[in-house]
Structures are given as C-alpha cells and as structure tokens.
A and B are shown apart, each in its own frame.
Chain A
C-alpha cells in the first residue's frame, strides 16, 4: 500500500450543525398534497427518521472483511443507538463527505476509529440537547441509551425518533464532543452478525455482477496478453451469432492496470457475449509475457540476485560476524506466482451518456477507479459517479480497477449501459499475480541463542504494479526509522546488530500486484523459516530464540505509516506466548508429528500461529492442531475478528499447499479451479482463535492472520520429517492433504 495515499480524515465538528433534511413524500393514493417529512441528518454518516430508524452510511465497501458491519458499529456506539433499529447503506464515492474511501492495508477501522465515532457522538449530543430543551433541564442531566434519551431524576424519556424533528433544528458549538472511554462501550466488543446476512442467504442482488440497468448490454473481451500489441482480428463468426450487437476494438493505455487493449463482443446476454468473444480470431504481435516460462522466471530471479542490488539496510559488520558465528546457515527460498481468484469474477457496469458516466460495481478503490475511468474515456473526474455494490472477494485483486475502465470504454462506444464480465479463465490469465521471488540468506546464531548476523538478498518481481514498492515489506520487525522509509523496507532486523539487506527487481513482462498482506506474507515466510533454521542449527527452542530476538534491546520508537500503530515487540511476544501456551508447545509429540510456530506484525496488528501436523510416509499431511493468536487492539466485533482469523488462516494454508500459477510460453497453465486448486472444506481442520484483550486503539484484521501460516506449517513439517521446505507450494514437492 502506498502510505502517501492515506489521508487522515477528520470529521469536522463544525458540520455538526442541525442537519435539516426536508423531502417530500409521494402522497398516498387518494389524498392530495405532499406530506412533509423531516429527517435528522447531522452529518453524511447518519440520519434518524421520525419512526426511529437509524440510517448509517458505510463509507468504505465490504470485500468480505466485514466493514459494512464494523464501521457502522463505530457510529452506533457513540450515538447510543439501538442496533436493531440501524439500517446500513453503502456510501457512493464522495470524498468531500466521507474522506478516504479506498479500501486496503487493513486500515478501514483504524482510519474510521475517530471520525465515525465523532459522527455518532455529534448525533447523540444533538438528540440529548433536543430532549433537554424540551424538558427545560440541563443536557448534562440527560442520558442517551438504546435510542432513547432519558432524564433519570424526573423519569422522563423520549425516543430518538420523536426527538429527530427538534434535534434537526439545533446547532452545536465547534468544540469536539468528547468520545466515550472504551470501558463504557456497549456495542463494541459484542458479537455482531453481518448486516447483509439476510440478503446474502436469500439471494438478493447485492453484488456488482447482479447490477441491472434498463437496456443494459453484456460484454466479454479478448484481452491483449501482457507485453503484446493487437495486430488484427476477424469478428465474422462473432457477429453472425444471434444476440451479438457489436464488436468494439479497445485501444489500451500505457499500463494494463489502466486499460488493456482488446476486442469486446457486446451482446444481449452474458452467454452470447462469451460465445462471441470465444469465436473471435485475434492476432497479437508476439508471444505473451515475452514467451517466458516459470523456469525462466526462476532462473532470472536467481541470476539477478548474483548482481549487486539496492542496499536497503546495512548495519554492523556482517562478514566478520558470520565468520565468528558458531552456527551458520546458508539457504535459498523461492516463492511462485500466485493468483487471487476471488469468487466473484471481475465485472463492472457503466453508462456513458451526455458527457457523464455512471459506474456500478464491485469497486474496492472508488477514488482511484474514478481516475482510471476518467483517463480511459477522456471525461473529467467530476463527470464520473461511482456507485458501490457489495464485493465478492478481492484478496488484493481489486486494488486495480482495470475492469471499471473497460466498462466505461465500451459504454462510451455503444451509448448503452453495459456490464463487462470476466470468465474465470480471463481472471487467471490476466491477474496481477503475487510476485515470484528468490531469497538468499546467510545468517548465524551464537551458542547463547542470539542471532548475530544476517545477510539477506531478495530478487523479486514485486515492482510491476507499484514501482515504488520493493516487495520487501514486513519481516518480523517493521521498517527502520532511519533508512529509506518511503520504501516498504520493513525488513527486520533492527533487531540483529550485523545486518545487510539488498533487493533487486528484474524487469520481466509479468503482471504482478498485491496479494493479501503483500510483501509481509512472502517475507514472513522466509524470515520465520530462517529463524526456525537458526534455532535448529543452534540446538535452541524456536520460541525461546524469538523471545530473545525480540527481547528488551530495542524499545521501538517506530513510526509506522499507520497512524497510532507504534510497533511494540512486547505485543508480538504476547501473541507468540499465547499461541505457544494454548498449543501445548512443550508437550511431547508422537512420531512423525511436528509443531511449528511463526509470528508477524502486519499493518499495525500482531498474529502468531502454532500448527501441529502429522506427516505420513506418502507425504500426506494431517492437521492435528491449528492455533492463532491475534492482537489487533480493541476488538470492535469479535465475530468478525474470529471470521477473519479463520478465513485468513485457511486462505494462507491453501496458498501454501496449492497456490501456484505456472507460465508456459508466456501463458498461465492454470486457467480455472480444476487445475488451479483451492482448499476444500473437508481438507480443513478446526482452528482455535485467541484474541488478546487490549485497550489499544483498534488496528486491522483482514490481512493480519495470513503471513504466519505458511512458515508455521513448513516449520511443523520439518519437525515431523526432518525435511526443510524452502519452496512453495507444497504440492509441487509431493505433499498432499491426507483425509
């Protein structure tokens, strides 16, 4: 994530004025004249109707991480609203009203923590003052609770609905209304179910792919492979299909995240659009991705690591320390390309008409999507409205909004609203993959168990999508305060006195991007495995080695780009100890069984996993125990945190075991779920989720449980079998899930 794009947004108390909204209801049948309805809407997040319904607008969209539930909870907590009377709406893109609306970096709760509670507090204060005014008592004597204001000493009370009319006429002074202390929270910390659950289980059309507009067409696109140009196409067969309306040539832009070149078939239903697209004969100028294979990529990454790279950190005298270290390791790790494959394929609906463009879709980054659309169709940003739907998963894929630009481009060409739909094959072929990477580490540990030297060389495809990212983000300790802080050089070891990190990013025509906890998860894998290797080399317990490493040597005055998230080694130690204790870390294990631990700090929160496996003679893995401990500060919604901890663990397990896209002559070989395997229900074991109680401001949860999973698993396999795993995914090495 780009730290620079994060705008701290403070809800201005000056806007807590009245907020009178008058609208005219459609008159009931048989009656004349319009009834005037007065609504109390003190700020863009909130409106209370006379019947007591509390409307709350979720400023950020939900990709499955639960923000449409957790963010409105923040408003409702301070508002002292009765949660059963709350109706959640999705805010469309409106930066002036809602501030930052792009979703990423597990920061939605973090950045909403102050402004959304302020929005709720402003509403509460106005309602209290309205009651106090009516009762002619000091407002400080009134109490707001569960959508009712009461005056305990006189026993009077009034519902929020009945106060809405008066509250809308009061203005507030500009001083900030104090927020409640965490100890007074009534809603936060309770298990709250997802606000869209009923719509989801009854099949209501709430996702982007469910959008329907009058006269809407459907389009499927033959997209230009990475690094190629469109030479010519024959659309005779496509146009001959009944139901095909048009074939549109798309002239792409400089970057594939903006708009790819291609040929779109526009039809009156999805099926015909796909059939028509498949009937196109398109000629590209050369083999995709420069004709690369996965073996080529691996070789190029290794080769690149032999050349000098960019030094991101150098401390002490690594060579001398390595010479003196009694226990040394010299190891290479390799990571493959991984696809995102969210269940809802890429899709978007747009209508360009009269110099305006409306976009509806599963858009995670509405602000950057608007920029993307504007660029693709040559309209000013002000002429573009982005309407947000619920999103069927992302895992980082929808940080790019290429699919929104496609819809707008085609609609502009045909003049009708159009829904662009990607097939799963399109998704796997034109994904922005998790970058492949090669790591070479030489490190040493003292007889006392101190990590004394660490030389780390990374070669990665990380920078195709985000040129400023090294892809080296997030090792066991976060970025140092003193070096290249603009680069995501989270790489450890402010903790290791003698440390050297070099990174290179060979330029290959492979599209890469961010996958859940980008950088963090890849580097967490390598670092946690290396720590385990060091512990083994020195005959030390892996938990004790980490405790010593994280010791008291540094009180990190670590300034993260994530507001209020000062990295605190004690909190990382806390999750490690909690997971270790719950797993029975010191209990003896039967033969062929192993226990692995890993921990990581990601985007302001902390996670540790202990995974216990049995590995049979045929390399069949059976999970005996999976424990995850999470510290994300104050827990807003325990049901949501548990869901993310379970889901993130399962996601990462699947990627570690099955996740790999292989290229052959520049084309992805895995184009659907038959060959791109994903973990199935029966292959998953129970997961014990432990949440650390905390008074710290809440930080993220969406990405946090992901990074420690793969290394905890491979460290467990090592203990069970004596075999080190230095390359993912496991199934390529012959491992499988036994059941």
Chain B
C-alpha cells in the first residue's frame, strides 16, 4: 500500500493502493469511474483505453505507480463543461453502439488521434481504430462517426 496523487479529468485525487494495481481498477473500484471498461486485462482489446498526457493508453496494463502525477483523462472527462466531444456527438448521430460496452474505449482511441491529427486520412483512422475490438461488429459506423467528427472539428477551426 502506498499513496499516489493522480490528476484525473483535471481533478487531483489521492489514493492508497498497492503500486502494481492497474490504473483500470483504480479508476473503476477506487474512484468509481466506471466508464473505462475491462475487456481482456492484457492490453489487446482496447476497452480500457484512457489518455495519459494525451496519449491513448491501455489502463488494464498500466500500473498506477507509473502514472502518478501524470495527466489522465477518462471517458467521463471527455465532454468539456457539459459539451459533448465531437466524437461523442458523432457517435450518437451515426447510432454506433450495439451492446455499447467497447465504445468508450473506441472513442478514447479516436479522440487521442484527432487531438494530434485533426484531419487524419482514412488510412490513419483505420490504423488507430483497429486497435480496439468490437464484438458486435459496429466497425463501419465507427469509421463513419470518426470521419464525421473530424469534419465537424475541421469546420469549427
């Protein structure tokens, strides 16, 4: 057991857990932020994707000790002051979710891409979103939603 100071969605949180605890379980069990999902536990499916200093990161294989004092964003912190992120809006417009379980991870992966590459090519989009599994097969709508969000963000720049 040790104490860690975490910056999560622009809030400082101090927690006491063992340092090898994956960030995923700190978010879900310790902090009650349950939007980040457990899918595989080995960093392969992407359901647990969060941002650490803006980079898409698999929280299920990220020991909490390694992200102390880093800037962490989860799906709960993606909307700013109640305004949905363009990806969230596009996801609703394109009616992407089926079961919905993987979708927060999908959105976080795509959000990290759009933050660094506002006008990605189709190839770049495909490359990034292929890191996230969707068992329901919402892949085609995910592609459309990411492209739509990128267009929306382009129009507002």
Which A positions have Cβ atoms within 8 angstroms of B? Answer: 62-66, 191, 193-194, 196-198, 200-207, 209-210, 212, 218, 242-243, 269-272, 274, 341-345, 390-393, 395, 421, 423-425, 639, 643-644, 646-651, 654, 672-674, 678-684, 686-687
Contacts and interface: CB of A to CB of B under 8 A. Distances in A.
A732 B79 CA distance: 44
B35 interface: yes
B84 interface: yes
B143 interface: yes
B11 interface: no
Contacts of A202: 35, 75-76, 78-79, 84, 88
Given A269-B29, A681-B129, A424 B41 contact: yes
B92 interface: yes
Contact of A643 (B36, B78, B138): B138
B39 to A, nearest CB: 5
B137 A646 contact: yes
B130 A680 contact: yes
3 pairs of A and B residues whose beta carbons are closest in the complex = A203-B35, A650-B137, A392-B101
Nearest to B102: A343
Contact of A390 (B21, B35, B100): B100
A212 B99 contact: no
Given A201-B103, A270-B25, 4 more contacts: A269-B17, A345-B38, A424-B41, A673-B45
Contact of A64 (B40, B98, B104, B141): B98
B28 A424 contact: no
B132 to A, nearest CB: 7
Contacts of A648: 137
Contacts of B37: 207, 209, 343-344, 392
A437 B2 CA distance: 53
B52 interface: no
8 contacts: A200-B100, A202-B84, A207-B100, A209-B34, A345-B39, A646-B138, A650-B137, A672-B42
B30 interface: yes
Contacts of B127: 682
B32 interface: yes
A198 to B, nearest CB: 6
B76 to A, nearest CB: 5
Chain B interface extent, by class: 35 or more
Contact of A271 (B22, B40, B98, B136): B22
B1 A343 contact: no
A418 to B, nearest CB: 13
Nearest to B105: A343
B133 interface: yes
A678 B25 contact: no
A272 B1 CA distance: 12
Interface string B130-157: 1011111111111100000000000000
A13 B92 CA distance: 37
B97 interface: yes
B67 interface: no
A270 B28 contact: yes
A393 B92 contact: no
Contact of A203 (B17, B36, B141): B36
A421 B42 CA distance: 16
A200 B103 contact: yes
Contacts of B97: 64, 194, 196-197, 200-201
A673 B98 contact: no
Contacts, number: 188
B34 A212 contact: yes
B91 A64 contact: no
Given A202-B35, A212-B32, A212-B34, A672 B101 contact: no
B133 A680 contact: yes
B92 A65 contact: no
Contacts of B18: 242-243, 272
Nearest to B99: A64
B47 interface: yes
Given A196-B97, A201-B88, A647 B138 contact: yes
A63 B135 CA distance: 12
A203 B34 contact: yes
Given A681-B132, A684-B139, A201 B104 contact: yes
B107 interface: yes
A644 B135 CA distance: 12
Contact of B38 (A205, A209, A643, A672): A209
A643 B136 CA distance: 9
Contacts of A218: 29
Interface string B101-119: 1111001000000000000
Contacts of A686: 140
A509 B28 CA distance: 37
B57 interface: no
B100 A392 contact: yes
Given A197-B91, A269-B29, A204 B35 contact: yes
Nearest to A64: B99
A342 B135 contact: yes
A242 B79 contact: no
B25 A647 contact: no
Q: Name, among A200, A342, A392, A643, the residue most crowded by chain B CB atoms within 10 Å (CB to CB).
A: A200
Contacts of B55: none
A344 B143 CA distance: 22
B86 to A, nearest CB: 11
Contact of B130 (A209, A270, A682, A687): A682
A423 B42 CA distance: 10
B65 interface: no
A213 B93 CA distance: 33
B45 A343 contact: yes
Interface in B16-73: 17-18, 21-22, 25, 28-30, 32-42, 44-45, 47
Contacts of B91: 197, 200-201
A674 B47 CA distance: 14
B136 A647 contact: yes
A63 B99 contact: yes
B92 A343 contact: no
A550 to B, nearest CB: 29
A687 B99 contact: no
B41 A423 contact: yes
Given A424-B41, A681-B143, A201 B107 contact: yes
Given A218-B29, A687-B140, A64 B100 contact: yes
Contacts of A672: 40-42, 44
Contacts of B134: 343, 681
B133 A269 contact: no
Contacts of A424: 39-42, 45
Nearest to B101: A392
B29 A271 contact: yes
Q: Name, among A271, A423, A684, the residue most crowded by chain B CB atoms within 10 Å (CB to CB).
A: A271
Nearest to B85: A201
Contacts of A212: 32, 34
A214 to B, nearest CB: 12
Contacts of B1: 242
Given A343-B133, A343-B135, A673-B40, A197 B92 contact: yes
Nearest to A62: B99
Contact of B92 (A64, A198, A423): A198
A269 B130 contact: no
Q: Name, among B96, B99, B133, the residue most crowded by chain A CB atoms within 10 Å (CB to CB).
A: B99
B99 A393 contact: yes
B135 A201 contact: no
Q: Name, among B38, B104, B127, the residue most crowded by chain A CB atoms within 10 Å (CB to CB).
A: B38
A197 B101 contact: no
Given A218-B29, A393-B135, A681-B126, A639 B95 contact: yes
A637 B30 CA distance: 40
Q: Name, among A205, A269, A392, the residue most crowded by chain B CB atoms within 10 Å (CB to CB).
A: A392
B137 to A, nearest CB: 3
